Amino acid sequence: MSALLRQQIAIVHKDRIFACLSLAITADRNIVGNCDPRSANPHFYTAFETPALAEAAFTENVAITRERGWTVVYNGPPLHG
């Protein structure tokens, strides 16, 4: 597995439900992930050809989530500790 070059997490909240969007950029993978506990398949990932496409998709997903009434609780690098 390649070392992470960039990682970002967006934690969102609506109606007592928390969900998470994630971005992971490595030397060989560019992935946007989603964790939605309301879904039958709550964890899914989409791979993109370039970091720029993955970053654009992550930003767009966060914007769409806001438009749908979710509150962004946190949007930044993963917190450790």
For 61-71, the pLDDT digits (tens) are 999 999 999 99
Predicted TM-score of the model (pTM)? 0.90
Which tokens hold the place of 62?
Answer: 């966060």
CA angle 57, 12, 70 (to 5 degrees): 90
CA atoms within 13 A on the CB side of 60: 7
Chain segment 39-81, per-residue pLDDT in tens: 888 898 999 999 999 999 999 999 999 999 999 999 999 987 5
Instruction: Locate the domains of the chain by residue range.
Output: 4-73
CA atoms within 13 A on the CB side of 25: 15
CATH assignment, 4-73 = 2.20.140
1 pLDDT more than 70: no
